[in-house]
Structure 1
Amino acid sequence: MAGKEHQKTTTIDHDSPYYLHPSDFPKQLHVNDVLTDNNFVDWLQEMTNFLFAKNKIDFVDGTITKPESTAPEYKPWMRCNAMIKGWLTTAMEKNICDNMKYAATATEIWLDL
């Protein structure tokens, strides 16, 4: 058709760790209480359960590593990493979050905690 550009559409299987649901957004709070200096064990349990439920635990534990920028998985990985970083930092009190804001990956945040 004249005047219309064709865009390549990529679909990601709902079972893929790269899948993000349309209702997901980075600043969602998915734990009952934000992380403080006194509740790490409870927070870790809740956040781990949430990440397993969202099929994203492999991004924080380092199983899925950052691909090369030329790899087809690069952009989906970057989207997931940004989303997970948002979930993690939203679930922390400000003084803890301030120490994490320059982490490049969700794995760096997870390991630092």
Structure 2
Amino acid sequence: MKGTVLVTGASGFVGRFLCMRLISESWNVRGTLLESESPSCLADKVEPVTVEPLGRNTPWTHALTGVDTIIHLAARVHIMDDHAADPMTEFRTVNVDGTAQLA
């Protein structure tokens, strides 16, 4: 094994294909899931790790233990029928604050 990679957004379109590629190149891959997601949505051989929704207080310690590399793909995108009271604030909370918390 080359090492352990944490892929956030591992259940998304890009994330699934990236995980498969990393596995084919002998990486140990850990993929994040929200509580509402099933591990079956991850590519085969991906170690699932459940995380809270991205934001400024998202705890990452358990997901990062033993990780050598992080590839951050999780984001709030393509919400076609958005019911958030303030969609722009929701986008910033996930895409800006959540990313900063992971960094």
**TM-score when normalising by structure 2:** 0.31
**TM-score when normalising by structure 1:** 0.30
Going by fraction, where is helix more abundant, 1 or 2? Answer: 1
Structure (1 or 2) with the larger CA radius of gyration: 1
Going by fraction, where is strand more abundant, 1 or 2? Answer: 2
